[in-house]
Structure 1
């Protein structure tokens, strides 16, 4: 069974047009508003996606639809980019996303109000994810910084039957971007006439990253003895949200290994972030010795940096003579151990992070590429990841009055 994908981002321009038209036909503006503050406790300026529960906006939404909601910095007239998220698919959004900018150690004030006479600010920058039947059945996701993909049941079947375009892997592939604009649709369209289209850098980036049966960056499993037990390809998917600020989707996996581990992965990616957030919910028929996530070591020529006390696990390497850094960030309190498992078996060499098994595990996996201009070398990447650790531990605080 395949769950329907909603291509929201394809219709942004159409939606904007009709919202603008409806605003002039049935204008809604009111003095009613909700004031709130966003506090930055860190010593550097931040601009990150935050949210307000729709429950906090009940009074405003009683008189108008979510389409009429606007968010502005207090005293300013510019509307911020917004995104509503319907988490459970019931047609009613539960969360309003926006992206404030707050200076170091300061608090910024914002207002939520009803005003259909002005448009929500639009942007070319966006997050995006979708199922990709053009190339068997990938699932791909991206934002303005990075792109990822993983593989579905048709690719698994092709691999098992030794047919063309087969991929047997639950690992996470990386697409190296050097443009802030979306590439998924363009690169897969090119693939239809040239199977090597996105393996060649035409100026926007390319895919030179090999996954195979490895963990890629962020693939999971269970380490037992000297073997990593892993699932096969995802069997179902569900797209929950795509939009200018956040994409969210779920991947479902069949039980694997003697523990019958069954995984559901909820993956999200925010605009401006190099890290996908993985929330993994899993069950097993027996008590697990650990729950493991990993990063491929490729040809074992790269370097690893294990900062167990920080929950930071880094791999440095060069691909086509250009630096790329990958990392996993996880709560250090649940980490049991981490090590480089170097194997003579193809695609079985990984940096492995073993965590205490729980009902669910949350971690972040991401990367940066030298040619994107985001990092220059291993020192840059290590500082980048440490900063991300600090951001995760100290989210912007939204205080609604």
Structure 2
């Protein structure tokens, strides 16, 4: 979370604008979502509606997209989001002001998440770069009954998209009319990724006695926010495994990012040995890479006629160990990262598809993972 300090400008005792400086102390350009807490805007909001708040670069007359977000679901907004774009080792000035006549600039892309009852009960989410989905209780019931097309898994599926506009609604609508629609690439991308009982990209479990204990499908969900800049939702899981693990996952995806942020609240009846996060290695034909010191882990594989890189990034202080577990049993080969079993666990999971134009080879994917690790360790600093 960025450190935020403000300069408040008042006219006749009424707050009119706030000057904000955003500093990037890394050696590459960054374009990321910044969150400003409502309490820092209290004086501005005392005299003006939140709907009239605008954000712009200090040297520009164009208003940037913004999003208000209610993080705790109490009906009151907690933060104002905007995208800060700052060059390497530089500081950029922004200005929050009041304008009831001019709208903020729109953007073609954004973020989105939705519960999907029309395809069993998936929950899918996306931004302009990537798309994901997980599976719900009805899908589990159907799978146990042997109904074709249903899924019993707590793994994370990924959808390969190569367009910036949303695809979830169109692909599910196509699937409803013609089952399996989204398994064919019609120019926007498709879903060739197999999850099954594996961890997919970012699924979790407990590693003990050379095997992985995992939960079943989520049992409840809550959409916290969805909009131009950020989508947030929560998933609850029924108690599972010999440790009686109970968990809630809060998942966040920002516009422009290839990585979903997982914040997991974990409770258990017994002391946990670890908390494992994984990436499926499918048929063990891909390349595994690890940098434990810099805290990123990757898999690079060919699916159909193009390559895809999947990755996990986390705080190095939380890592216990990591290894590639190879199994002859289908869906049990996973790259596993064992994290310290704290009550709150945070990690990032994401991917890049060669056909999206974001990466050409494994070295570029490694560089993207390295940048993500640096971004986590050095959040944008926002001050006067």
Question: TM-score, normalising length from structure 1?
Answer: 0.91
Asked if residue 325 in structure 1 is aligned to residue 313 in structure 2, the reply is: no
Asked if residue 346 in structure 1 is aligned to residue 330 in structure 2, the reply is: yes
Q: 1:230 pairs with 214, 227, 241, which one?
A: 214
Match for residue 105 of structure 1? 89
**Which range moved further: 267-276 or 108-117?**
108-117
Alpha-carbon spacing, 1:130–1:244, altered in 2? closer, same or farther (3 Å):
same
Q: 1:360 pairs with 335, 340, 344, which one?
A: 344
Instruction: Name the CA distance, whole Å, in 2 between partners of 1:45 and 1:226.
Output: 43
User: 1:393, CA displacement in angstroms?
Assistant: 1.2
Match for residue 155 of structure 1? 139
Instruction: Name the CA distance, whole Å, in 2 between partners of 1:340 and 1:198.
Output: 30
Structural mapping, 1:265-344, within 5 Å: 265-344=249-328
Match for residue 131 of structure 1? 115
Structural mapping, 1:159-238, within 5 Å: 159-238=143-222
Match for residue 56 of structure 1? 40
User: 1:165 aligns to what SS in structure 2?
Assistant: coil
Match for residue 15 of structure 1? none
User: 1:309, CA displacement in angstroms?
Assistant: 1.2
Deviant stretches of 4+, over 4 Å: none
Instruction: Name the CA distance, whole Å, in 1 between partners of 2:87 and 2:317.
Output: 30
Which has more helix, going by share of residues? 1
2:315–2:377: 8 Å Cα contact kept in structure 1? no
2:57–2:93: 8 Å Cα contact kept in structure 1? yes
**Which range moved further: 117-126 or 145-154?**
117-126
Which has more strand, going by share of residues? 2
Structure 1 spans left out of the alignment, 5+ residues: 1-29
1:236–1:253: 8 Å Cα contact kept in structure 2? yes
1:306–1:314: 8 Å Cα contact kept in structure 2? yes
Tell me the number of residue pairs that the alignment of Structure 1 and Structure 2 aligns.
371
Q: 2:57 pairs with 65, 73, 78, which one?
A: 73
User: 2:118 aligns to what SS in structure 1?
Assistant: helix
Structure 1, residues 244-295: CA drift from partner, whole Å, max 9, x if none? 1000000000010110001100000000000000000110000001110000
1:83–1:245: 8 Å Cα contact kept in structure 2? yes
User: 1:31, CA displacement in angstroms?
Assistant: 6.9
Q: 1:42 pairs with 22, 26, 39, which one?
A: 26
1:235–1:253: 8 Å Cα contact kept in structure 2? yes
1:231–1:254: 8 Å Cα contact kept in structure 2? yes
User: 2:373 aligns to what SS in structure 1?
Assistant: helix
Match for residue 5 of structure 2? none
Structure 1, residues 46-103: CA drift from partner, whole Å, max 9, x if none? 1110011010000111112210101111142111100000112222100000002112
User: 1:45, CA displacement in angstroms?
Assistant: 1.7
Instruction: Name the CA distance, whole Å, in 2 between partners of 1:377 and 1:259.
Output: 41
User: 1:159, CA displacement in angstroms?
Assistant: 0.7
User: 1:142, CA displacement in angstroms?
Assistant: 0.3
User: 1:165, CA displacement in angstroms?
Assistant: 2.7
Instruction: Name the CA distance, whole Å, in 1 between partners of 2:28 and 2:340.
Output: 33
Instruction: Name the CA distance, whole Å, in 2 between partners of 1:101 and 1:356.
Output: 34
Instruction: Name the CA distance, whole Å, in 2 between partners of 1:346 and 1:78.
Output: 54
Match for residue 224 of structure 2? 240
Asked if residue 370 in structure 1 is aligned to residue 369 in structure 2, the reply is: no
